[in-house]
Amino acid sequence: MGIESVPRLSWSEVCARRLARHGLSAAHAGPAAAVAAMAGTHAQVLSAAELAIGLRTADATRADVRTALWDEHTLVKTFGPRGTVHVLPTRDLPIWVAALSAVPASPSPFPEHVRMTGERTAQVIEAIGTALSDAELTVDELGEAVVEATGPWAGDLVMPAFQTMWPRWRQVMHLAGTRGVLCFGPNRGRKVTYTSPRRWLPGFEPAPERPALARTVRSYLHAYGPATPRRFAHWLGAPARWADDLFDSLAGELQRVEVEGHSAWVAAGDLDVPPEPPRCVRLLPYFDGYAYRVGNQPPELLYPGPAADRALRGNFQVLVVDGAVAGLWHQRRSGRHVDITVEPLVRLTAAQHDELGHQAERVGEILEARARPAIGTVTVGGHA
């Protein structure tokens, strides 16, 4: 294909595509549709995920997200891209498990006396699957079951974590999630529980690897494209060389485009661009803003001007104007009210100020509170 035939997209067109597909400029029908369109929602802090999902729907609240998770089971909370906690559409779990299981393992960050052999890792994963097959267990209850099934070595307190020591077996919890034998259950009071996704998805089996990887690449490119193999690798938590080879193997299903002079990829034929430039003001919560940055590149266009110094380094709640980061914000719950402080880093027009007020009201609705928005300086740091 000659250079002249390579489609060209402007940064404005890319922003418009991403905003529309993420449900930020046009709402999705419900929580499951919103999560699918995002290629998963980061959920290390579930309250932030509830807000991220609600903001991409017309009228869903945090209660609707909880219903989708714990009653309808159309969403599942588990370990996803980068080995981090995500909310995923339950129907897509066979695809995710197959794709994530195909990613080459990273070197263990633990010293040799802490690591587990491949044989012991397999034993622990099998024990987790057996213990959770028909139960919702806290981490301590699950640990007792794993030690009983495998041996006392699994319970050795050798794994440094949060100024304490965890038992050895916990270093493979995320692996159990990506293998499809563990997901999160509803909290038992203040305690997190774990269960098996097979309880909610009868007949669950991982999809064939090759179609699953192709589907994952297409889902990523639909939500975050145009993008490169290296950006995909960063988003998924995979080796860069492996991602290069994967994109090469899918060459017939992908199409090269040019964005502001740089080559990138979309799914073949996926060149749709909204007819209007991006025009919206949005408040993205913790981890949503981080995921928006991980998936959406390059940073110099996503974080222009003062945003690069103020918001690029760290996990902040960000104000997004027309697809680019334009400020920070913070919320503080006080009874039935939520105080929302927004620190714009650009001059907002009267129309943008008005839309910001509506967006703050929407945040309040999702959190089932009355919003009290104000313009001011955000003094809190990024979330760990």
Q: DSSP letters along 67-90, please?
A: HHHHTS-SEEEEE-GGG-EEEEEG
Q: What is the pLDDT of residues 205-255, one digit of tens each?
A: 999 999 999 999 999 999 999 999 999 999 999 999 999 999 999 999 999
Query: Residue 256: which pLDDT band, with cuts at 50, 70 and 90?
Result: very high
CATH number at residue 171: 1.10.10
Structure tokens at 162: 């949060």
DSSP string, 210-276: HHHHHHHHHHHHHHH-SB-HHHHHHHHT--HHHHHHHHHHTGGGEEEEEETTEEEEEETT-----SS
| d(C-alpha 183, C-alpha 209), whole Å | 21
Contact 85, 78 (CB under 8 A): yes
| d(C-alpha 16, C-alpha 272), whole Å | 10
Structure letter (DSSP) for residue 291 = H
Structure letter (DSSP) for residue 29 = S
Contact 299, 308 (CB under 8 A): yes
What was the pLDDT predicted at 4?
A: 54
- At CA 239, angle to CA 113 and CA 163, rounded to 5? 40
- Rounded percentage of the chain residues whose pLDDT exceeds 70: 96
Q: What is the pLDDT of residues 363-382, one digit of tens each?
A: 999 999 999 999 999 988 77
Structure tokens at 102: 């195909």
Q: What is the pLDDT of residues 174-209, one digit of tens each?
A: 999 999 999 999 999 999 999 999 999 988 999 999
Contact 272, 279 (CB under 8 A): no
Contact 137, 186 (CB under 8 A): no
How far is CA 45 from each of CA 99, 286, 317, 376, rounded to the nearest angstrom? 24, 8, 13, 25
Query: Residue 1: which pLDDT band, with cuts at 50, 70 and 90?
Result: very low
Q: Does 320 fall in a domain?
A: yes
> Which among 176, 201, 226 is the end of a domain?
201
Q: Does 221 fall in a domain?
A: no
The whole-model pTM stands at 0.93
- At CA 290, angle to CA 189 and CA 353, rounded to 5? 100
Q: Does 357 fall in a domain?
A: yes
Asked if omega into 226 is within 30° of 0 (cis), the reply is yes
Q: What is the mean pLDDT of the chain?
A: 92
Q: Does 170 fall in a domain?
A: yes
> Which among 179, 201, 223 is the end of a domain?
201
Q: Does 25 fall in a domain?
A: no
Contact 34, 23 (CB under 8 A): yes
What was the pLDDT predicted at 290?
A: 60
Q: Does 185 fall in a domain?
A: yes
How far is CA 306 from each of CA 288, 325, 357, rounded to the nearest angstrom? 20, 10, 23
Looking only at the bridges linking them, the beta strands covering 41-42 and 370-375 are unpaired
| d(C-alpha 59, C-alpha 62), whole Å | 10
> Which among 201, 221, 252 is the end of a domain?
201
Whether residue 2 is predicted with pLDDT greater than 50 in this model: the reply is no
Q: Does 77 fall in a domain?
A: no
Of 53-67, 274-288, 328-342, give the lowest mean pLDDT range. 274-288
Whether residue 333 is predicted with pLDDT greater than 80 in this model: the reply is yes
Total structural domains in the chain? 2
124: containing domain? 107-201
Q: Does 62 fall in a domain?
A: no
Other Cβ atoms within 10 Å of 16 Cβ, number = 24
